Structure 1
């Protein structure tokens, strides 16, 4: 039998499959990329056991738990666990602290003929290990930041550099008022977990420094971990300087064409068009106060005309009538101001390819 483990980093480096035995509500708040939710108890069962524990103590709660998870219910859950164990002989199980839920499941599996190890300390220990990674590597690994105005394909750059971390990918959000996707954004916990695992893997692969996209304190609804953000604020910056026309075409593709395709793929033609229209209009409405009412109204009218046009089959070029002033009135001036605050940290300026080559060379040095 493989031993229970507390080698948390090794689990993440190996993309080890794991069974998360916590209740669904716990899993949905945050888990790990290779974990599968196969709970010992449902949310309702867990709540009943928790109430019993508070009112009658541990032994009564344990007894109730065994009553709730028995008979056919237990057999069904056992079958799912056994199938996972057979399909993933290298995996592990865990509950919140590596206590009663995982020990009970481990014993039941053993009684069914499978010795299967658990993670000592459970979810809490795994989670703390990842938070330690962020703290540690933010303190020891040099960073380089890739900056540039909206539409400069900074995210594409970090995804083509071997030592880069895609923070927006980890957040599942592009970081602007139009940054959402069809599917929900990652939770704060999942964002931190994904980021930490990526950092750990870069270090393990031998990279001595990391490249990150220039971000504010927030990416959509998630916050950058404080140690990471503070390190980014002091890191040298390479600025992508691509022409307005190039950036506009990228934004047209990212914000409009791709989103129309995604919404209709997920929700069907009619409902997808409606939801995509809501996404575009709400993105503009989020920055109404910063734009001012007059400019917001102009852009909203142009956006609505463009939406009607592409819905009628006229193509997407009319969206440039609001994207162009949006950059010129709002995003470009805002980023120029932000960049002025980083003037002493700017070490390189160039077009996309020149910045890519510069950062690749710096990373190799």
Structure 2
């Protein structure tokens, strides 16, 4: 029996493994979170088929596709079954077309359990857009503020590991939200992938009394946050995290640079410093270059804190903001415990925020 399920039905199930049959290039650009890429055609074959389609027509392209895929179908079916493990393979391509249909039919004929996603990735993307455009957030936000290096990202990560209600926005983007935000990280995720991950995080925790999040503007790297989320953060409960300058500098060096930074890491930092030349001035910029070349990363980080990050943060917070609590993160483990206690405390009574007794 032919079994095609909608995006909504698929997301309710816990027994499926998403199998993306598109080419590696397509998959790298955007995909369903957690999907495994087992391409029916590689990138070169996909381009070849596109040329044939536009030059000779659909029939010729289909016959060529059949010639390309026929020899590898048995191995492809085996690979899909191994990848899915105990789950049911849920196949999809770009728009629920021939790629997923052909593999579905082969697996069905072989007697293998298999499902197909109606409308393919395009239907999933439309679902995500629709949900985020109309999203109703039923939680208040606990917004962590503080200067660069105070440990906000580490606190968010630890809260998430403890299973507490947290949105890890920078982790979803793979960017730290500043001009140096991409240093040492994997390539930044696309807007489409970020939207999908964000929706997953929201659906997990929506309805909790408080959801912790690091304070952000309307954009992280090249990714834009949805208006309802930036509004929720603006209206949220502000928690200020502090730490001495020396501790902040130590953490910045530790977070942004490995023990033995590569030439690529250092070049990324130099490019970021160069982009700040107008703001820092020629003299400070040249001094930073010198310190980086000498391996004096802590000294460079201190200058960046005092002359860039702290000033930028002060300008963004020109009007005095109310913080319902201030937590010192010199001992970051203790700070994590305090924020964790706040989240757990206010998950119980429905009363205004203040210092828990």
TM-score normalised over the length of structure 1 = 0.80
Number of the residue aligned with 2:193:
190
Q: Distance in 1 between matches of 2:2 and 2:151?
A: 46
- The change in CA–CA distance for 1:331 and 1:122 in structure 2 (over 3 A counts) is same
| Count of residues in Structure 1 that have an aligned counterpart in Structure 2 | 337
Number of the residue aligned with 1:330:
308
1:107 deviation in Å? 0.5
- The change in CA–CA distance for 1:107 and 1:16 in structure 2 (over 3 A counts) is closer
- The change in CA–CA distance for 1:46 and 1:252 in structure 2 (over 3 A counts) is closer
Q: Distance in 2 between matches of 1:15 and 1:246?
A: 46
Query: Where in structure 2 are the equivalents of 1:10-89 lying within 5 Å?
Result: 11=11, 14=14, 16-54=16-54, 58-70=58-70, 72-85=71-84, 87-89=85-87
- The change in CA–CA distance for 1:91 and 1:82 in structure 2 (over 3 A counts) is closer
- The change in CA–CA distance for 1:14 and 1:154 in structure 2 (over 3 A counts) is farther
| Residue deviations 1:262-306 (CA, integer Å, cap 9, x gap) | x5xxxxxxxx3x33332332332232222111221222222322x
Number of the residue aligned with 2:114:
116
| Residue deviations 1:293-336 (CA, integer Å, cap 9, x gap) | 1221222222322x1xxxxxxxxxx4332222221111111112
- The change in CA–CA distance for 1:102 and 1:210 in structure 2 (over 3 A counts) is same
1:360 deviation in Å? 4.7
Q: Distance in 2 between matches of 1:12 and 1:218?
A: 30
| Residue deviations 1:100-158 (CA, integer Å, cap 9, x gap) | 22111110112223131111222122223333443444544432311111011111222
Q: Distance in 1 between matches of 2:136 and 2:309?
A: 29
Query: Where in structure 2 are the equivalents of 1:302-321 lying within 5 Å?
Result: 302-305=291-294, 307=295, 318-321=296-299
Number of the residue aligned with 1:229:
230
- Structure with the bigger percentage of helix: 1
RMSD: 2.9
- The change in CA–CA distance for 1:245 and 1:359 in structure 2 (over 3 A counts) is farther
SS at match of 2:116: coil
- The change in CA–CA distance for 1:280 and 1:106 in structure 2 (over 3 A counts) is same
TM-score normalised over the length of structure 2 = 0.82
Query: Where in structure 2 are the equivalents of 1:172-321 lying within 5 Å?
Result: 172-180=174-182, 181-203=184-206, 207-256=208-257, 259-261=258-260, 272=262, 274-305=263-294, 307=295, 318-321=296-299
Structure 2 residue runs without a partner (length 5+): 330-334, 351-357
Q: Is the 8 A contact 1:348 1:355 kept in 2?
A: no
Greater displacement, 222-231 / 168-177: 222-231
Query: Where in structure 2 are the equivalents of 1:83-162 lying within 5 Å?
Result: 83-85=82-84, 87-137=85-135, 139-161=137-159, 162=164
1:5 deviation in Å? 2.2
Greater displacement, 114-123 / 351-360: 351-360
Q: Is the 8 A contact 1:27 1:37 kept in 2?
A: yes
Q: Distance in 2 between matches of 1:163 and 1:15?
A: 24
Structure 1 residue runs without a partner (length 5+): 264-271, 308-317
| Residue deviations 1:170-193 (CA, integer Å, cap 9, x gap) | 111222233222432223322222
Q: Distance in 2 between matches of 1:357 and 1:332?
A: 28
